Structure 1
Amino acid sequence: MFTYFLWNIMLQMKGSKMKINSIQWPVTFFATSFGAGIFFLPQTVGPKVIGTHGTITILILSSLASLLGQFTFYRFILITDKKEYVSSAILFIGKKAANAISIAFLLSMLLIAIINITTMINIICFSLSLNGSERIFVSLIISATLGSSFIFFNSKIEHLASGIAFPSLLIVLFLSIYFYSHPAHPHSTEIQNISTSNLLTLFPVVLFSFNFSPCIQRFAQNKKDTAGDLRFFMFGILLILIFISFIVFSLSNIFSPSDIKNMREINSDALSYSANVTKNSFVAYISILTMILITSGAYTGTLTGVVDTIVSLGFKNKTLIVFVVSVITFIAGEANFEIIKVIAALSTPIIAITVFIIPSAFFLKTNCNSIFRKIMMTLNLLIGIGICFLAIIL
C-alpha cells in the first residue's frame, strides 16, 4: 500500500510525458545511496534478526524520515541564488560556523567514498586471491579510473551515475529472484524478536542506507525550476526502498542463524557470503560484478558532493580536487575496518546535523507560517537530534 501510494504520487507530474532526465536523477539518487553498507543489512536488521515486522517497520520509517530530511535539505540549499549549502548555512549561522559544518560534512562524504572504495578493493582482491603488492595496483587502478570518469562526465554527472546504476538494478533484481527461488535454509527460524528500544538503536544504520545527500546540491544547481521537485525525491526513495527490501528479504532467505552469526564475526557482507552458502560459482561471479557496479555508483555520487562542497569553500579547480581525492582514496583503500561501526560512529551524526538539524532549525526560525510546515520541521529536527543521540550510544 505504501509503495502504491508513492508510485501514484510519483506519476503526478506537469505534463503527460516523462523526460529522460526525470528518470536519471532519481536513479542517481539510488546509485549514491545504494553502496556497500546495503549488504550489511540482512545480518543487522534482516527478518531473521529482528523479525519480519521489525524489518518492514524500520525500512518504511527510515524511508519516510529520509524523504523528509533530504527534501528539507534540498529546500534549504535553494534559499540563496548560488544554490550552495555553504551559502545557505552562512546566511543562517554565520561564515565560521557554516565553514566548520561544511568541512565536517565534507569529511563524512569522504569517509563514505573511502568505505565504498575499500569494499570494492576487498571484494576484487579476495576473489582473485591477490597479495599485498597486487592489492596496491588494484587500488591505484580503481581510484584512477573512477576519478578520470568523474572528470569526463563532470557537467552531466547524472549520466555517469545512472549509467552505472541501471545495470545494477537489473542484476539485483535477478539475484533477488534467484535467492527467493533457491532458499538454502527454508525451515530456519528467526534469531530473535528484537525489542523496540534495540530496534531504535539500529535506526541510524538503516537511515544511512537511504542517504543521497552528497548529490542533492548538484541536482539543485542543474534543475532550472522547482516544478515537480518532490516527485524526484519520492521516486528516488521509492527505488531505494524497493531494492533494499529485495536485498534484505531475498538474502535472508538463504541464510541460517549460524550463517548470520558467522557473517557478523568475520565482518563479511551478505552478498559475498551468499556464494559460500549457495555453492554456485555463477552467483559468486555475479555478486562480484554487482558489488563493483554498486560501489562505483555510490562512489561517483558521493564524489560529486565532495567536489561541490570543496568548490563552495573557494577551491575552483575541479580536476585538482578529483586528483587529490583519488590519492586519498587510493591510500585509504589499503585500510580495512568494520564498515557498520564507522558509518554509525562517524558519518551518521554529521549527516544528521547537516541534513536534518540545521535546515529544520532555519525554517522553524524564519519560514514556518503554516501549522503543518511547523509540525514537519519540528519532526525533522527531532529526528536529527534522535539520530545523533542513537548513533553516539551505539
Structure 2
Amino acid sequence: MSLTTTQEHSGQEVTTRLSKWTQHDTRWMLSLFGTSVGAGILFLPINIGSGGFWSLIVMALLAGPMTFWAHRGLARFVLSSSSSDADFTDVVEEHFGTGYGRLISLLYFLSIFPILLIYGVGLTNTVDSFIVHQLGLEAPSRVLLSGGLVFVMITVMLAGEKAMLKAFEVIVYPLAFILAGISIYLIPSWHMPNLNFNQSFVEFSSSLWLAIPVVVFAFSYTPVVSGFVNAQRRQYADGAKQKSESILKRTSVMLIAFVLFFVFSCVLSLTPEQLQQAKADNVSVLSYLANVKDSHFIMLLGPLIAFIAITSSFLGHFMGARESFNGIVAKQTKLPLKTIDKIGVVIMFFSIWFAAVMNPSILGMMEALSGPVIAMILFIMPMLAVYRIESLKMYRGKISTWFILLMGTLAVAAILFSLI
C-alpha cells in the first residue's frame, strides 16, 4: 500500500470518528447544559418577561447566537495555545504576557468562586426547606447538613472525570424532563399576550439593554469550557476543535429549546402586571405560579428543580474554580500540582461550608460583582484575542466576532449601570 493511500485511509478514519456521535460527547453535552441551568432559571421568565412581550421575542432570537458563538469563541481561544494540555490560565499568560495573564486568571477565579459560595448557601436552604415544609420534619443542624451536602458534591468531583460526567447524566435528564413537563402543564393556562407596542423607543431599548446580562448569565457555562476543551484534546487530538464545536452547537440547541420553552410557557401563563409583581417580590417564577394558581403540583416540583439545578451548576462551577486555582498557584510556587490541588479543595470546601452555615445576604451582591468579569472573559476577551493572536486571524471581520464583541460590551455596561 502506497504512502498516499495509507494517508487517505487514515484521514477517512479520522473524519468518520469525528462525525460519529458517542456517549462521551453526550455526557459532555449534558455537563455543559447542567452547568448553565442553575437556580437562576427560576427567575429568568420574570427578569426577561417583565420587560414586555416584544422584548422577550427579541431576546429569544438573540439567545441562540449569543450562546453558541460566545462559547465557541472561548473554546477556540483555549485551543489556540501552542501547548496541547494548556488550561485557561496557561493560555491567557501565553497570549497576554505574564502580568496581564495572571491578573486575568485571578479575576476569572474570583468571578467563579463567589458563585460557588452562593450555590453552597442555596443548596443548604433548599434541602432544609424541603425537610421542614414538604416532609414535615424538624430542621436539621445547619452545620451538619451544609457540611454533608458540600462534602458529597466535592467527593463527586474528586472521583474523576468519568464519575463527574456520570453524575451530570443522572442529574440533567430529570432536570430537562421536569422543565419540559412544567412547560407543557402550563399550556392550558396560556393567554394571548399584549401585542400592542405601547413602549417608547427609549423604554424598549432600555429594557432590551438591561435584559442582555440576564441572557448572558442564564445561558453561560463559562467555568467548564476550559476543562471541556482539554477533554476533547485528550479524546480527539487534532480533531478537538471540530468535535468541540459540534458538542457546543448541540448544547446550545438543547439549552435554547428547553429553557426558552419554559420561559415562554411561564410568561404566557402570567399577565404583565403579575410578572412585575413577581419581580418586585423577588420570588422565583415557580413560587409565584404556585401561589397565584394554587397549584400543589408546582409547589412540590419547585424545590426539586431548585435542588437539581443548583447541584448541576455547583459541579460545573467547582470544576472551573479548581482548575483556575491550580493554574494560578502553580505559577506562583514550586509545589507539586497534586499538593496544590489538595490545598485548593480543602480551602474551597471550608469556604463553601462556612458560607452555607453563615447564610449571608451579601452573596447577591457578590454575584452581581462577578458578572462583569464573566461577561468580559466569555464575550470580550476571546474576540479581542482574534485580532491579537495569529492562529485566530481567520476569524477577523466575521459577523459573529463583531456581534459577540458588541453584546459583551453592552452586557458589561448594563451590569455596571445597574450597580450604580
Query: TM-score normalised by the shorter chain: which range applies?
Result: 0.7 to 0.9
Distance 1:303 1:30 in 2: 15
Write out aligned runs for 1:53-202 (5 A): 53-80=54-81, 81=83, 82-127=85-130, 128-129=132-133, 134-154=141-161, 156-181=163-188, 183=189, 186=191, 193=199, 195-202=204-211
Distance 1:229 1:302 in 2: 19
Alpha carbons 2:286, 2:298 under 8 Å: kept: no
Paired AA for residue 26 in structure 2: I
Percent identity between the aligned chains? Answer: 21
Alpha carbons 2:71, 2:222 under 8 Å: kept: yes
Distance 1:326 1:165 in 2: 24
Distance 1:373 1:97 in 2: 25
Distance 1:254 1:338 in 2: 32
Shift of 1:190: 8.6
Paired AA for residue 225 in structure 2: I
CA distances 1:213-271 after superposition (whole Å, capped 9, x unpaired): 11111111111332332111111111111121122122223334454344323321112
Distance 1:267 1:77 in 2: 37
* 2:348 maps to which of 302, 325, 328: 325
The 3-state SS of whatever aligns with 1:255 is coil
Q: Which residue in the other structure is 1:297 paired with?
A: 312
Q: Is 1:265 aligned to 2:272, yes or no?
A: no
The 3-state SS of whatever aligns with 2:283 is coil
5+ unaligned residues in a row in structure 2: which ranges? 1-14, 331-336
Distance 1:144 1:29 in 2: 22
Distance 1:197 1:365 in 2: 33
5+ unaligned residues in a row in structure 1: which ranges? 1-11
Distance 1:79 1:308 in 2: 18
CA distances 1:284-332 after superposition (whole Å, capped 9, x unpaired): 2222111111110011011110111112221544344233222212222
Distance 1:16 1:71 in 2: 18
Shift of 1:154: 4.0
Paired AA for residue 208 in structure 1: F
Q: Which residue in the other structure is 2:334 paired with?
A: none
Q: Is 1:354 aligned to 2:361, yes or no?
A: no
The 3-state SS of whatever aligns with 2:62 is helix
Q: Is 1:386 aligned to 2:389, yes or no?
A: no
Q: Which residue in the other structure is 1:27 paired with?
A: 30
Output the aligned Cα RMSD. 2.9
Q: Which residue in the other structure is 1:8 paired with?
A: none
TM-score for the superposition, normalised by structure 1: 0.86
Q: How many residues align?
A: 378
CA distances 1:31-72 after superposition (whole Å, capped 9, x unpaired): 0010011111121112xx233332121133133123222211
Distance 1:78 1:187 in 2: 47
Paired AA for residue 292 in structure 1: F
The 3-state SS of whatever aligns with 2:387 is helix
Distance 1:112 1:60 in 2: 27
Which of 1 and 2 has greater Rg? 2
Q: Which residue in the other structure is 1:6 paired with?
A: none
The 3-state SS of whatever aligns with 2:167 is helix
Paired AA for residue 204 in structure 1: P
Return closer, same or farther for 1:104/1:360 CA change in 2, 3 Å cut-off. Answer: same
Deviation larger for 366-375 or 159-168: 366-375
Q: Is 1:276 aligned to 2:291, yes or no?
A: yes
Distance 1:15 1:264 in 2: 46
Q: Which residue in the other structure is 1:216 paired with?
A: 225
Alpha carbons 1:364, 1:378 under 8 Å: kept: no
Distance 1:60 1:13 in 2: 33
Alpha carbons 1:153, 1:160 under 8 Å: kept: no
Alpha carbons 1:190, 1:257 under 8 Å: kept: no
Shift of 1:155: 5.2
CA distances 1:86-130 after superposition (whole Å, capped 9, x unpaired): 111112221222112111111211122223333333333334258
Return closer, same or farther for 1:95/1:255 CA change in 2, 3 Å cut-off. Answer: same
Distance 1:136 1:246 in 2: 38
Alpha carbons 2:212, 2:410 under 8 Å: kept: no
Return closer, same or farther for 1:90/1:176 CA change in 2, 3 Å cut-off. Answer: same
Distance 2:17 2:258 in 1: 27
The 3-state SS of whatever aligns with 1:50 is coil
The 3-state SS of whatever aligns with 1:228 is helix
Alpha carbons 1:63, 1:210 under 8 Å: kept: no
Alpha carbons 1:143, 1:327 under 8 Å: kept: no
* 1:205 maps to which of 205, 210, 214: 214
Q: Which residue in the other structure is 1:366 paired with?
A: 389
TM-score for the superposition, normalised by structure 2: 0.81
Distance 1:349 1:211 in 2: 13
Alpha carbons 2:44, 2:263 under 8 Å: kept: yes
Alpha carbons 1:215, 1:305 under 8 Å: kept: yes
Paired AA for residue 157 in structure 1: M
Shift of 1:174: 1.1
Return closer, same or farther for 1:156/1:72 CA change in 2, 3 Å cut-off. Answer: farther
Distance 1:69 1:212 in 2: 10
Write out aligned runs for 1:232-247 (5 A): 232-247=247-262
